[in-house]
Structure 1
Amino acid sequence: MTTTDEGAGEAGAAGPLHGVRVVEVSMYVQAPVTGLALAGLGADVVKIEQVGRDDFMRTASALYGVPLDDRGRDWLWAALNRGKRTLALDVTADAGRRVLHRLIASADVFVTNLREEALARLGLDPATLCGVNPRLVYAKGGGFTASGPLAGLPCQDTVGMAYGGLMDLTSSTGEPNYPPGGLSDVLTGTMLASAIMAGLVQRATTGRGGVVGATQTQSLLWLQLLPVGMAGSIGATMPRFSTAAPANPLFHVYPAEDGWISIACIMGGQWPPAARALGLEHLLEDERFATWDGVLANAEELAAIIARTTPQRTKAAWWEVLREHGVWSAPVNDVHDVVADGHLRHDAYLPEYPDGFVAPRAPFEVGDWRQTTTTAAAYGQHTDEVLAELGLDAHELEELRVNGTIW
């Protein structure tokens, strides 16, 4: 693993998961994000790649309609796999499975998002691997459900968000909306990392590992805790967001000179400072808006007044004055605004890595620890290193390489 000390909480300090070995056999986004998060916390993540077959994320020609050249493919691979060690191993061969079992015997965690039939065919099912190592925390990412008739169906980010309700919830019109970027897979992979950490804590108490998991549906329902709970518990539906007709004109977004500004006032006491920040303090004497009930009863009129006011300044200028008055607010940023934001760079949320790519750190704060900046490994880069740690000598490595078990 290639690292630098830049961004570390203490020079040379070990991460919270230092000493935890993770073996990852994965595809696409979900389980790779799990390994990425664990590596970001200091775990030793060994990603197994099949001999003679490039991982799809090394060779993708486009992502969500954006063509990828060689630099783009390097970015995509690094985005999901930085900080991991790579082992090129044929797990379909008997010799490869014996090597895998030696690796599993030394591991704390196994991470996968392969479907059940593939896991059984490859000998990577929970019974087999937990039989090799009873202390293993076996982590399985899933799609629709973890059990029942939907458990074995293929599921990826798009259909997961469709089934889990997010395509509808994020729509302002009722027409399905698909926010790009593998959001459901990223969320589920992160939830799976949390489940793994719970499994490790449980193992510390019981002395035994076990199976932990997270599915896309499960994660999306958790994300929609309040709207789904409201629908199921009291039969109500939260109204869709509309820039034209806010129920609360102070819980809304408004056009600025160069974009949009968001304001979030939910209590009557927040209206006077907001009015002063907007230069609309005279409305506090207007009988229509003198009380909070009046603000809500005359929402359309007040929204129209604010909408005529906010284009007079930039969103940055509005944010400054609104913050000075203690008003909950923020500019509405696009992804380019986000990556250029000095606050996020200062807090090391979006570091630039040694390979020149920019990416978020794992979303966990643990004391003073800040994950080290890392690069992504080449195909099979750590094969000899990992196997030497298992006790294989040079002659054994050469034999495995000659028969195509390793690369």
Structure 2
Amino acid sequence: MSQPSGPLAGIKVLDITSVLYGPYASQTLGDWGAEVIKIEPLTGDTWRYSGQFRNRGMSGQFMAVNRNKRSLALDLKQPDGKAVLQRLIATADVLLTNIRPAALARLGFGYDACQQINPRLVYAAATGFGQDGPWAARPAFDEVIQASSGFASAMGSDDEPAFVPSLVADKICGLTIVGAVSAALLHRARTGKGQMVEVPMLETITAFNSIEMLGGHAFDPPIGPAGYKRMKERRPVRTRDGWLTMLPYSGDNWCTFFETVGHPECIEQFAVRDAVARGKNIDRIYDKMAEIAITRTTAEWEELLLRIDVPHAAFAKITEIAEQPHLKAVGMITTLDHPSEGKIRQARPSARFSDTPAEIRRMPPRLGEHSRAILREAGFTEEDVASMIERKAVGTSS
């Protein structure tokens, strides 16, 4: 394994998370150079068993958010398991958890207890709901957050809400907590002090969705309906042989588009020069674009739209995303050789750092794969390790 080169090299993260929200965040920290120790129950992260797999406990979904980590299987209800975590906290920079705070406090690892062990610790709580609100103790999953934040209503309608077919709440919140942890580490570098960071899912997604979806309700009292009309009207257009999205954006862009495709009358008919008037006519504009789009092939449209500098893209199938021309050119989808799972495909780290490149250094771990090594590094003797394994306070993959 190569030495980490990312901007967070030298940062030690204890990752007590499962499923998607927390693991996606900790993988990003690992991609950026942090040393991440994934602490799992002896049964493993439940995400190990979600989706398709060659070997039980190593699903593709699990491996997609758990590279650049080492796995330590630990029973935190046993005194030995607690002793191990206490020792690791003493030298850690970050503790990231999505265990509900009250449950973690009962185990002896609430923020106050951890700060007593290590005042420099950045304690990052990935929660479902802010701990100062009435829903603090509730469990949260992506569907719950999409429903309670208004996301599902925006996706469908008030009368018939619909879920986005992606775990967007988990992933958005995962990236948000990465930023929050990085900011807290910067604060610690300046002051020497750790702190607690909380990123609740409901509040985060509500803020995320409110940017365009409050609409007229961004004013008090409201000056119009909620929502952003263009979001409801935008849709793919069918070409002669496929599908395309095209999005003239500025007034000049729209004028050039309608002139080039032989429909200059649409410029005045839909008032495209003025952004406000254009917005009011957006449904009629998209209807017209659908009529026009069917007259050319996708390739013909791409050549024309590129020439007049109109934003556009052909639709890529998820099964063929590695062959999407731009993504293929930048090597976005990479094939890795996993020691137990064979060849696996993953998206490489998307963030680019000119001096401290992000990289994939470690393959997604088997449950407890690194338990022995981590305990030895923490100062436990071989006899200690063997005893903890025998008493089932620690689990290993072998």
Q: Cα gap change, 1:55/1:256 in structure 2, threshold over 3 Å: closer, same or farther?
A: same
Distance of 1:406 and 1:291 partners within structure 2: 66
What is the CA RMSD across the aligned residues, in angstroms? 2.9
Kept after mapping to 2: 8 A contact 1:44/1:84: yes
- Structure 1 unaligned spans of 5+: 4-11
Distance of 1:99 and 1:105 partners within structure 2: 10
Aligned to 1:91: 76
Comparing 213-222 with 348-357, greater Cα deviation is found at: 348-357
Shift of 1:200: 0.3
Residue of structure 1 aligned with 2:25, choices 15, 20, 34: 34
Question: How many pairs are equivalent?
Answer: 384
* 2:369 paired with 1:377: no
Q: Cα gap change, 1:174/1:385 in structure 2, threshold over 3 Å: closer, same or farther?
A: same
* 2:35 paired with 1:44: yes
Q: What is the TM-score normalised by the length of structure 1?
A: 0.84
Q: Secondary structure at the match of 1:357?
A: strand
Q: Cα gap change, 1:391/1:71 in structure 2, threshold over 3 Å: closer, same or farther?
A: closer
Comparing 308-317 with 26-35, greater Cα deviation is found at: 308-317
Give per-residue Cα distances to partners, 1:13-64, cap 9 Å, x unaligned.
611111100001122211111111111111110011123x23211223x5xx
Comparing 213-222 with 169-178, greater Cα deviation is found at: 169-178
Aligned to 2:344: 357
Kept after mapping to 2: 8 A contact 1:30/1:188: yes
* 2:146 paired with 1:161: yes
Shift of 1:86: 0.4
Distance of 2:290 and 2:179 partners within structure 1: 43
Shift of 1:285: 9.2
* 2:306 paired with 1:320: no
Q: What is the TM-score normalised by the length of structure 2?
A: 0.86
Residue of structure 1 aligned with 2:323, choices 313, 328, 340: 340
Q: Cα gap change, 1:257/1:72 in structure 2, threshold over 3 Å: closer, same or farther?
A: farther
Residue of structure 1 aligned with 2:132, choices 129, 132, 147: 147
Distance of 1:43 and 1:32 partners within structure 2: 13
Aligned to 2:290: 307
* 2:126 paired with 1:136: no
Give per-residue Cα distances to partners, 1:256-302, cap 9 Å, x unaligned.
2344322222332112331355x32x525986479736977876766
* 2:353 paired with 1:366: yes
Q: Secondary structure at the match of 1:353?
A: strand
Aligned to 1:398: 386
Aligned to 1:238: 227
Kept after mapping to 1: 8 A contact 2:32/2:359: yes
Q: After TM superposition, what 4+ stretches of structure 1 lie above 6 angstroms from structure 2?
A: 294-301
Distance of 2:21 and 2:280 partners within structure 1: 46
Aligned to 1:292: 273
Kept after mapping to 1: 8 A contact 2:27/2:68: yes
Shift of 1:143: 1.0
- Structure 2 unaligned spans of 5+: none
Give per-residue Cα distances to partners, 1:354-399, cap 9 Å, x unaligned.
3433333344332251422642111111111111111222222222
Shift of 1:120: 1.6
Distance of 1:198 and 1:403 partners within structure 2: 40
Residue type at the aligned position of 1:365: R
Comparing 36-45 with 366-375, greater Cα deviation is found at: 366-375
* 2:207 paired with 1:222: yes
* 2:14 paired with 1:23: yes
Give per-residue Cα distances to partners, 1:294-313, cap 9 Å, x unaligned.
97787676655432331233
Distance of 2:83 and 2:107 partners within structure 1: 12
Matches within 5 A, 1:115-130: 115-130=100-115
Aligned to 2:160: 175
